[in-house]
Structure 1
Amino acid sequence: MNPSLPSPEFLDRMAAAFATLGRLHLQSPDEETLSQLSELLNEWPIEEAGDTAFGLDEIRKSFNEGEPVATIRRDHNLLYGVTAGARVAPYESVHRNQDGLIFDEETLEVRAEYRKLGLQAPKLNQEPDDHIGLEFNFIAQSCLRALDALDQGSTTDASRYYGIGAVFMEQHILEWVPEMLEKAADAAETHFYQGIMYLSLGAIEAYQVGQ
């Protein structure tokens, strides 16, 4: 697979979307984060259509109804099992491994992909590398590296960095994340996290179209 290099504008939008969503999958928001997101909602970097439109509507409902930050944080905890069993495991290995194990072959494959951009999971060997939030951030970093290369006049390096992310999307994220997001949207108790799941589906769709 050798995807063609998209426009800098596309790379910038994908980097912003996947970085934001990656953080919200990894960690539930605090009041400051919710306030920032509320201000930026009308400037979401992906066209308001399909799953993205539905996701934005759900998050607007969350803000309009005043869902408490404690309720949103509890929802994240229950969904991903931060302090107990997960309703929907956020790790690739659990979904793709025949025995549902973490830190298995799939985790090590993801770790090897991260190294191609000189990255590693922040809690290496303590928490699995293949959390959806980390995988989304990898896509964001791929786009940012491509943008930096273009700024330096190297389309060859830009294509290489973007290609690393595009292959990762094809071989990893698309193999498990869309189905996991749909399950998580059904399991979510807040408009906020239902919205995040659909925004994530919309981001994946937009990235694929951009290729």
Structure 2
Amino acid sequence: MANTAESVHMELQPLLNARKKFYQLLHILFQMPTNNNEYVEICKKGNLQELEEMHEGGKILSGFFQRLSNDYLKKEREEYQRLFLGPGPLAAPPWESYYRSKEQLLFEEWTYQVREQYHQFGLKYVRENNEPDDHLLLELEFMINLIDLCLLESNPDRFIELISCQQHFLENHLTVWIPYFCKRVIQTTNSQLFLGAAMLLEDFINDDLTTLYEVKEALADV
């Protein structure tokens, strides 16, 4: 039985690495676009042609990468501030609580639920209590962290627990608010970078949850 479980775990390594790579890509796409080198690396290693062929958001992002220049990045930085950072009212606030609170407030119950999840894995936001813990980038980082733990885990039972934690976080957080966030981005920007990124993010989060259901079913048969 143990050998079979270990075999399944090894078979899942490519899938885990692919998931991690995609979360990392999304994390870069939703950061302030200050480092041109990161985008150059995506062009080299991001399988953009495959992404362009399989997804409309990938096609839009391809247009962004084809126009990549310092002047173009300056415009994207200005758009990033308008959408996600400020000053002033944000077009698409990047915090979970904003979309789940009736009053569109921050530091609501979902912020503390997410914080508790981080703490369970020994993680703590460096600006805890000063800035909300349920920022998009932090939640993506958390998923990357959980995937890393899966890649290192040799105990089959613990491995299943880590998959369940990812499934829980997707079900109770990311897939709940991300569609509303992405809709705001899509409706309020002409940026190829953020329009394409939002389209990719929404579809990937839902697809990833489906993938984890399939992984859990495969592990249950071991």
Q: Under a length normalisation based on structure 2, what TM-score does the superposition of the two structures give?
A: 0.82
Shift of 1:205: 2.9
Q: Quick one: distance in 1 between partners of 2:118 and 2:182?
A: 22
Q: Under a length normalisation based on structure 1, what TM-score does the superposition of the two structures give?
A: 0.86
Larger radius of gyration: 2
Alignment of 1:93-112 (within 5 A): 93-112=97-116
Is the contact between residue 13 and residue 46 of structure 1 (CA under 8 Å) also seen in structure 2? no
SS at match of 1:76: helix
- Aligned-CA RMSD value: 2.4
Alignment-derived partner of residue 155 in structure 1: 156
CA deviation string 1:141-198 (max 9, x = no partner) = 111111110xxx2111211122111101001111111121122122122111111111
Q: Quick one: distance in 2 between partners of 1:142 and 1:46?
A: 24
Q: Quick one: distance in 2 between partners of 1:77 and 1:27?
A: 8
Q: Residue type matched to 1:204 in 2?
A: I
SS at match of 1:143: helix
Is the contact between residue 93 and residue 107 of structure 1 (CA under 8 Å) also seen in structure 2? yes
SS at match of 2:46: helix
1:62 maps to which of 42, 64, 71: 64
Is the contact between residue 142 and residue 165 of structure 1 (CA under 8 Å) also seen in structure 2? yes
Q: Quick one: distance in 2 between partners of 1:44 and 1:104?
A: 41
CA deviation string 1:84-114 (max 9, x = no partner) = 3210111011110122111121111110011
Alignment-derived partner of residue 173 in structure 1: 174
Task: Tell me: CA distance 1:25–1:65, structure 2 relative to 1, closer, same or farther (3 Å).
Answer: closer
SS at match of 1:84: coil
Shift of 1:44: 8.3
Q: Quick one: distance in 2 between partners of 1:108 and 1:72?
A: 32
Structure 1 stretches lacking a partner, 5+ long = none
Shift of 1:122: 3.1
SS at match of 2:47: helix
Task: Tell me: CA distance 1:35–1:168, structure 2 relative to 1, closer, same or farther (3 Å).
Answer: same
Task: Tell me: CA distance 1:29–1:182, structure 2 relative to 1, closer, same or farther (3 Å).
Answer: farther
Residue 29 (structure 2) pairs with residue 28 (structure 1):
no
Of all paired residues, the percent bearing the same amino acid is: 20
Alignment-derived partner of residue 46 in structure 2: 41
Alignment-derived partner of residue 203 in structure 2: 202
- Equivalent pairs counted in the alignment come to 202
Q: Residue type matched to 1:170 in 2?
A: E
Name the structure, 1 or 2, with higher relative contact order (CA <8 Å, separation 6+). Answer: 1
